[in-house]
Homo-oligomer: A and B are copies of this chain.
Amino acid sequence: MMIVMKETATEEQIAAVVSKVERAGARAHRSTGARVTVIGAIGDVEQDVSVESIGLEGEAGVDRVVPILKPYKLASSQFRHGERTVLDIAGAKVGGEHFTLIAGPCTVESRAQTLETAQVVRDAGASLFRGGAYKPRTSPYAFQGLGQEGLRLLAEAKAQSGLPVVTELMDLRDLELVLEVADVIQIGARNMQNYPLLAEVGRSGRPALLKRGLSSTLDELLMAAEYILKEGNPNVMLCERGIRTFETDHRRVTLDLMAVPVLKELSHLPVIVDPSHAAGRRDLVPPLSLAAAAAGADGIIVEVHPKPEEAVCDGPQQLFTETFAEYASDVRRAAALAGKALAAA
């Protein structure tokens, strides 16, 4: 890292920084310009992180601390020397040349709704089935999901459709139950920095779909992925689902599609986009899906329902099963623009 001193920094302050860098086991490389002194802290590869943590930010005489190395390692492109991770989820490929369509209802509500939707999305070319049994809700009074009964219905949908299942884990204590059904464990935006949860999912070895927090930078998202990877689980998908901005009319959050090419440069992990939650409105889902695919996303996770107008949760953002095949076909063409083909189920 580099420590940029203030123009007013005294020699004592500079010396204090140098000594702190050296106490942390790194070499301090001082370079003094006409107005400002910059101190480079150069460690060997393994020491960089401890250098990062010596906490010089805010130190007297210090203007800024500029990290040079990325704080994540296992998630970085360099870790795999530019090669991309391709996951294999019970035969469904994610990443590389594959474009993966993950579809299903927001919430598992009933047997009929679940099985019908799984059938429709499989026939339209989806290769993973999504559905929530445990739902994180802003209000403690809102429907919190069917829980174990929901997991059971997901298992039945999996058996019948042959599609692997993506479902969310919110509570560590449900891990065993969720592992019985989930081929991919979804970690929601609210839990992106729930570190005990990340570590346990890491230890489980089960593939994870990690959603970006509403105000998380891309570096923070990659650090959260690092918590999973560090436990020896290399099967992580990153998911952009919108960020909080000043624009609060006409949509829930702002979908950050720049994140797609940037994440793909920073990391070898596949990048999925969730247009449903970002928009909160069905009519925005198709254009955003095409945009995500054209921008090079490795897949889309989208909500579909046979009768969204009767859905217990997020009805207005769910696509209709009856038009889903057409939607899937449009998305396939957009993915082709970015050189990707729909992954087989």
Note all chain B residues with C-beta closer than 8 A to A66: 2, 4, 66
Q: Which of A35-43, A91-99, A155-163 contacts B (4 or more CB under 8 A)?
A: A35-43
Q: Counting CB contacts under 8 A, is A291 at the interface?
A: yes
B-contacting residues, A98-144, CB 8 Å: 136-143
Note all chain B residues with C-beta closer than 8 A to A195: 136-137, 140, 170, 190
> Are A337 and B138 in contact (CB-based, < 8 A)?
no
A109 to B291 alpha-carbon distance, docked (Å): 34
> Are A290 and B337 in contact (CB-based, < 8 A)?
yes
> Are A257 and B291 in contact (CB-based, < 8 A)?
yes
A295 to B273 alpha-carbon distance, docked (Å): 14
> Are B244 and A260 in contact (CB-based, < 8 A)?
no
Q: Counting CB contacts under 8 A, is A262 at the interface?
A: yes
> Are A45 and B56 in contact (CB-based, < 8 A)?
no
Note all chain B residues with C-beta closer than 8 A to A246: 215, 217, 243-246, 248
By beta carbon, the residue of chain B nearest A248 is B248
> Are A55 and B316 in contact (CB-based, < 8 A)?
yes
- Copies per complex? 4
Note all chain B residues with C-beta closer than 8 A to A20: 309
> Are B245 and A245 in contact (CB-based, < 8 A)?
yes
Contact of A29 among B31, B55, B76, B82 (CB under 8 A): B31
A227 to B217 alpha-carbon distance, docked (Å): 27
Q: Which of A178-186, A203-211, A279-287 contacts B (4 or more CB under 8 A)?
A: A279-287
Note all chain B residues with C-beta closer than 8 A to A83: none
> Are A316 and B58 in contact (CB-based, < 8 A)?
yes
A247 to B218 alpha-carbon distance, docked (Å): 8
> Are B247 and A280 in contact (CB-based, < 8 A)?
no
Q: Counting CB contacts under 8 A, is A167 at the interface?
A: no
Note all chain B residues with C-beta closer than 8 A to A68: 4, 33, 36, 38
> Are A290 and B295 in contact (CB-based, < 8 A)?
yes
Contact of A283 among B43, B227, B265 (CB under 8 A): B265
> Are A316 and B34 in contact (CB-based, < 8 A)?
no
> Are A290 and B280 in contact (CB-based, < 8 A)?
no
B-contacting residues, A249-282, CB 8 Å: 249-251, 254-258, 260-262, 265-266, 278-282
> Are B279 and A69 in contact (CB-based, < 8 A)?
no
8 inter-chain pairs at a CB distance below 8 angstroms, sorted by A residue, are A7-B78, A55-B311, A57-B316, A58-B279, A59-B316, A217-B246, A255-B257, A287-B296
* Across the A-B interface, the 4 shortest Cβ-Cβ residue pairs: A58-B316, A215-B215, A58-B281, A190-B193
